[in-house]
Every structure is written in C-alpha cells, then in structure tokens.
C-alpha cells in the first residue's frame, strides 16, 4: 500500500512529499482511502469535518467501535511515513484479523483525519479539533493559506459544505477506543532495540506568529542609520529562542518566515515568522514564549496542552503489542490526532514503529519493512485484544 501512495504529492527533485490539506494530492489520497475501504467491503463515510471513516460493522452509541488510523496529509517536503504508515497499517491489521478468523465483538473502524499537519492553514489537527469542538468552526473557516484563500473557499472548491463544520457528537460517539500507529520521530526504539513501542505522553506544544514591521527601502542607497529593517528583530528573536530553549530545557524552532516583498536589493517592509515551541514542562514552554513576546506583535495560532495517555489502556496495549515482554513506553514531542481525541475523553493510545535515524518531517524519514510488518502484527494483536 505504501508503494501505491509513493508517487502522490512527491516532489521529484527532492523526493519529499507535499500533501497539503485539500490539495490535488490530498484529494487523490482520499480517493485511494475510499478504494481500499471499498475493496474490503467497509462502509465509507466522510464526516462533516472532512475526516474519513471505514467501518467493519456498524457502530452505535450503545456499541461504539475500536478505531485505528492516522492521517494522509504531510508537512511540506515531508517523508513517506508520518501519517500514511498509520493508515496503511490500519488496513493491513484489519486484513490480518480477518485472516486470523477473528469475529470482533464490536465494530472496527479505520480513520483518516483531515489536515493533521496544518501545513497549509497553520493550525495542526484541524479535522480532529473540529470533531471534538476545541477548534471553533468560525475560526477554522477563516484560516487562510499562503495564497490568501480561506479554508471555507478551499472546502467549497473541493465540493464540500463548509456549513457542516463543528463538534460532531454523533461521529465521536462511534469511537469507543482509538489507537494510532505512527512512525517514531526520534531514536527511542533504536536505543531500546525494539521494533514497536507505545506512547506515554505528548509534550505540550504550540505555534505562534510574530509580525515585524519596518520600512521598505533601497538596499544600496539607504544609509544604515536611516533604516527600519524588520529582519533585525527577527534575527534577534531567532537567536533568543534558541538561547531560551537551552536555558529552559525545551525546544523552540523558527521554521517558516515570510519576508515581504522579498527583493534581494531592498530592505523588507514586513516580516512574519512562526515559532514552534514544545517541552515536557508546560510552564517552561509558556515562559519561553512570554519572554520572546515582550514588545513584539505575537498571535498564538495553536496550543495543545500535555496529553498523558490513559495508563491502564497504555499498559494493556504495551502487553498486547509486546509479545513476551511489554513494549517500551516513550514520550514524544510530536502532536497527533490521538492526543486530541484523548484530551476530549476518548480512550486513546499510540504505537510507534522504529525509525533507524529518528529523522522525520523530512524526506529522510524511514522505517524498515520488517519493522513496519512488526507494527502491523502488534496493531492486529492490540485490536484483537480490544475488540474481544
């Protein structure tokens, strides 16, 4: 299945993936998902927030299902595994359950959440945040992409009804338990010498937009003393972020900058930059952002508090996934739809598959085929345990 997806949204120059939400690549990936659901005789449904669900059995509030899956969108120039590994492993694990002759006592669902990465509109996990009501639909619809198109425009163009967005109790009530398999985005499992692990917690994390205003002018004729160059406060902020992150024991990244108008021979008039900050200690992350925000124009675009996955479910899954010795439990600095669902009170858990280099959000992201297969077996074991 990963091979079937390999060409979609791939930049031939870099080998990286660009799979923005609701782009042509995303629509093709959604079609693929529908095809895989159809081939297996699963009932396909797109909820009003654009999340896809493929059901084996019919869930109801009295008989909610065990759901597994992830997302198919990517960061820009991302890897092949972040998201898709969880979706293909979900279908493969379901196949394995059927091969084993398992008759689930509750429905089993495969989910694909919309716009997990937030590459296009800036806010991550848009599909699951809308579903659970933590992102108000008015705010989501007004988000804009780099072309100035709102999410509302983009949804209409994709033939979707923007008016349907928002908390969806009916869809949520069908999810009794959610298990997301994901490529590890670090080297914890390499250190453990194990192919599969289980998530313990997701660090609190957020994104902030900084706007710096200056005065556009000629790069050659404007004396240094006469300049108002917004690149200088940006440069100070980037260095201060690194210094504060080291001091406070967290991580901080400026990975996106917009310089206007963007002439090599002109002082820019405006600079926008996005800070991503995360860490095990929420107060330390907040303190870093407060420190950098002093005297700056800053807007919080997203914030996700710490998620501690339910310990009883986590340990049950670690036993089911681990064979003879329970799978190791690892924290992560990456955000996931499983975290959004967990925060909304849906019992949720995650499996991680070993990543030999730990590299992620980049074309270098990788998992060995044997480890992916171990992930599928572990996921099937977990689902079998949960749908008894």
Which residues would be at the binding site for Mn ion (CB under 5 A)?
Answer: 82-83
Separation CA 278–CA 158 (nearest Å): 33
Separation CA 6–CA 94 (nearest Å): 22
Separation CA 26–CA 238 (nearest Å): 32
| Token pair of 339 as six digits | 């975290």
Minimum distance, C-beta of residue 189 to ligand GLV, in the bound complex (Å): 17
Q: Which residues does 287 contact at the CB level (< 8 Å), separation at least 6?
A: 248
Minimum distance, C-beta of residue 334 to ligand GLV, in the bound complex (Å): 4
Separation CA 212–CA 273 (nearest Å): 8
CB-based contact 211:272 (threshold 8 Å): yes
CB-based contact 69:111 (threshold 8 Å): yes
CB nearer to ligand GLV: pick between 64 and 335 = 335
Indicate whether 16 belongs to the interface with ligand GLV (CB under 6 A).
no
Minimum distance, C-beta of residue 221 to ligand GLV, in the bound complex (Å): 43
CB nearer to Mn ion: pick between 83 and 127 = 83
- Give start and end residues of each alpha helix (H) in 150-267: 151-157, 169-173, 188-192, 231-248
Residue 214: what are its φ and ψ, rounded to 5°?
-145, -150
CB nearer to Mn ion: pick between 68 and 152 = 68
Q: Which does 383 bind (CB under 5 to 8 A by kind): Mn ion, ligand GLV, none?
A: none
In this chain, which of 96, 112, 334, 379 binds ligand GLV, going by CB under 6 A?
A: 334
CB nearer to ligand GLV: pick between 57 and 375 = 375
Minimum distance, C-beta of residue 263 to Mn ion, in the bound complex (Å): 33
Q: What CA–CA distances, in Å, run from 92 to 31, 111, 374, 379?
A: 18, 13, 11, 9
Binding flags for ligand GLV, 288-327, as an x/- string (CB under 6 A): ----------------------------------------
CB-based contact 115:25 (threshold 8 Å): no
Q: Which does 127 bind (CB under 5 to 8 A by kind): Mn ion, ligand GLV, none?
A: none
Residue 51: what are its φ and ψ, rounded to 5°?
-80, 145
CB-based contact 330:353 (threshold 8 Å): no
In this chain, which of 109, 335, 339, 375 binds ligand GLV, going by CB under 6 A?
A: 335
Q: Which does 83 bind (CB under 5 to 8 A by kind): Mn ion, ligand GLV, none?
A: Mn ion
The 3-state DSSP class for residue 53 equals strand
Q: Which does 26 bind (CB under 5 to 8 A by kind): Mn ion, ligand GLV, none?
A: none
Instruction: Give the interface size with ligand GLV as a residue count (CB under 6 A).
Output: 4
Indicate whether 181 belongs to the interface with ligand GLV (CB under 6 A).
no
CB nearer to ligand GLV: pick between 212 and 352 = 352
Minimum distance, C-beta of residue 7 to Mn ion, in the bound complex (Å): 20
Give the CA count within 13 Å in the CB-facing half-sphere of 352: 30
Minimum distance, C-beta of residue 378 to ligand GLV, in the bound complex (Å): 21
Indicate whether 365 belongs to the interface with ligand GLV (CB under 6 A).
no
Cross-strand bridge partners of residue 271 = 212, 259
Binding flags for ligand GLV, 107-126, as an x/- string (CB under 6 A): ----------x------x--
The 3-state DSSP class for residue 214 equals coil
Minimum distance, C-beta of residue 185 to ligand GLV, in the bound complex (Å): 7
Work out the angle between the directed axes of helices 369-386 and 311-322 (0-180°, nearest 10): 120
CB nearer to Mn ion: pick between 82 and 168 = 82
Binding flags for ligand GLV, 25-44, as an x/- string (CB under 6 A): --------------------
Indicate whether 204 belongs to the interface with ligand GLV (CB under 6 A).
no
Q: Which does 195 bind (CB under 5 to 8 A by kind): ligand GLV, Mn ion, none?
A: none
Please give the angle made by the CA atoms of 124, 128 and 133, to the nearest 5 degrees: 105
Residue 122: what are its φ and ψ, rounded to 5°?
90, -25
Separation CA 86–CA 3 (nearest Å): 14
Separation CA 53–CA 67 (nearest Å): 9
CB nearer to ligand GLV: pick between 124 and 188 = 124
Q: Which does 16 bind (CB under 5 to 8 A by kind): ligand GLV, Mn ion, none?
A: none
Q: Which residues bind ligand GLV (CB under 6 A)?
A: 117, 124, 334-335
């Amino acid at each position: 299945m990963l091979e079937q997806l390999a060409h979609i949204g791939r930049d031939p120059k870099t080998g990286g993936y660009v799979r923005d939400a609701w782009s042509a690549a995303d629509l093709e990936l959604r079609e693929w998902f529908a095809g895989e659901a159809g081939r297996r005789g699963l009932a396909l449904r797109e909820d009003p927030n654009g999340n896809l669900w493929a059901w084996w059995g019919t869930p109801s509030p009295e008989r909610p299902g065990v759901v597994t899956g992830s997302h198919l969108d990517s960061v820009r120039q991302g890897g092949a595994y972040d998201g898709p590994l969880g979706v293909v492993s979900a279908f493969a694990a379901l196949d394995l359950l059927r091969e084993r002759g398992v008759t689930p006592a509750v429905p089993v669902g495969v989910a694909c959440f919309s716009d997990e990465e937030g590459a296009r509109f800036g806010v991550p996990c848009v599909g699951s945040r809308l579903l659970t009501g933590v992102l108000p639909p008015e705010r989501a619809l007004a988000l804009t992409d780099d072309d100035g198109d709102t999410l509302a425009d983009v949804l209409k163009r994709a033939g979707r009804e923007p008016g349907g967005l928002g908390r969806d109790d009916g869809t949520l009530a069908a999810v009794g338990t959610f298990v997301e398999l994901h490529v590890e985005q670090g080297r914890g499992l390499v250190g453990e010498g194990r192919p599969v692990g289980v998530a313990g917690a997701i660090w609190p994390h957020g994104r902030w937009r900084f706007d710096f205003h200056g005065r556009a002018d000629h790069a050659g004729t404007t004396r240094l003393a006469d300049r108002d160059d917004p690149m200088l406060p940006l440069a100070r902020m980037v260095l201060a972020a690194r210094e504060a992150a080291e001091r406070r024991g967290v991580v901080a990244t400026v990975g996106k900058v917009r310089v206007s108008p963007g002439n090599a021979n002109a002082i820019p008039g405006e600079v926008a930059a996005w800070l991503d900050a995360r860490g095990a200690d929420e107060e330390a992350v907040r303190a870093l952002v407060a420190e950098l925000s002093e005297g700056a124009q800053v807007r919080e675009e997203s914030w996700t508090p710490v998620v501690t996955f339910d310990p009883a479910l986590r340990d049950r899954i670690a036993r089911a996934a681990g064979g003879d010795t329970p799978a190791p439990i690892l924290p992560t600095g990456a955000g996931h739809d499983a975290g959004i669902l967990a925060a909304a009170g849906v019992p949720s858990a995650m499996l991680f598959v070993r990543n030999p280099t730990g590299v992620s959000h980049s074309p270098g992201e990788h998992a060995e085929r044997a480890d992916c297969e171990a992930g599928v077996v572990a996921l099937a074991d977990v689902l079998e345990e949960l749908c008894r």
